[in-house]
Amino acid sequence: MNQPTVAIVGATGAVGAEMLVCLEQRNFPLGKLKLLASARSAGKHLKFRGGDVVVEELTHDSFAGVDIALFSAGGGISKEFGPSAAAAGAVVIDNSSAFRMDDDVPLVVPEINPQAAKNRPRGIIANPNCTTIISLMALAPLHEVFGLKAVIASSYQAVSGSGAQGIVELEEQVHAIVSGKPFTPKVYPRQIAFNVIPQVDVFTDNGYTKEELKMLHESRKIMGLSELKVSCTCVRVPVYRSHSVSITAQFEQPVDVDAARAAYAGKPGVQVVDDPSNKIFPVPLDTTGKDDCLVGRIRKNIVLDNALDLWVVGDQVRKGAALNAVQIAEIL
């Protein structure tokens, strides 16, 4: 594929806008760019490489001549328009959960399973969930050395994971509290300002939320580990951007902290930031607007055999969404 025509579906949303930034910053070799969104956004002008690109209304006929279609407009839009894009000859890279567990749709993190992108019977490649991507960026290098067996994780997820409305809700609540004014939560079930909420997505029959089960099912598919055990608690925290995950990982082989740190050497997209005695460890502000995930607090777990505890942080809008999609496009 030489100098492809690229379309962004949902170009005016937070992730769509970040896709635009990633394409420009990475000097993606595109021949033509097409920006697609709802009728109410059609006609807007977005900046790209020093010029203006007009946003067009998304229709089923929008994909003639498009080689790669980056979708980030929600699962409903992906289900409706993704097959039309693929039928028109585009490779669809979808950021929603619509196709992730479809056997005929590869689920790809380019640093982990890039070869999976080659086998796409439906012409669609799925972007994993943001929390899954960030967690696996930390776990995959360790799996290569020790053999991953089980994961227990707790996430600390930024409000921008709920979209712009999550940021607005946090800002409004902080302002109201500081001003002594009443407020009613709208986006979240409880107050998010100066609080944490142990619910991301809806609860299922087994007591886990959908977000927590994504960690299980998507990790198995990406890593090719059908028996991998994962238990996760996903928590919304009053942070604007970048997710953090506390992970206990159990392995088949005996673990060693120095060998664990060494496993990350030369691995793209992940860096070790781990010197707790000097208060050096990753925090969300360290990764906001950055490509790499940061890993720290690496230590032997003192409860389980062959287990490590670690802390990983990554920008969920970039590596957890937009950047990962653009990296898949680069593979193509």
Determine contact, residues 92/86, Cβ cutoff 8 Å.
Answer: yes
314: which strand partners?
A: 243
Reference 42, options 30, 58, 31; nearest CA is: 58
Dist. CA 284–CA 265, nearest whole Å: 22
Dist. CA 124–CA 85, nearest whole Å: 9
Determine contact, residues 246/154, Cβ cutoff 8 Å.
Answer: yes
Per annotation, catalytic residue among 130, 232, 234, 293: 130
The angle at the Cα of 331, spanning 108 to 153, to the nearest 5 degrees, equals 25
Q: Establish whether 234 is a catalytic residue.
A: no
Which amino acid is residue 317, in one-letter code? Answer: V
- Chain CA centroid to CA 165, Å: 18
* Tokens standing for residue 275: 């010197």
Q: Measured in Å, how far apart are the chain's first and last C-alpha atoms? A: 7
* Tokens standing for residue 38: 């709802």
Number of H helices and E strands in the chain, helices first, is 8, 13
Q: Tell me the three state secondary structure of residue 244.
A: strand
Per annotation, catalytic residue among 232, 234, 243, 293: 243
Q: Establish whether 293 is a catalytic residue.
A: no
Active-site residues: which are they? 130, 243
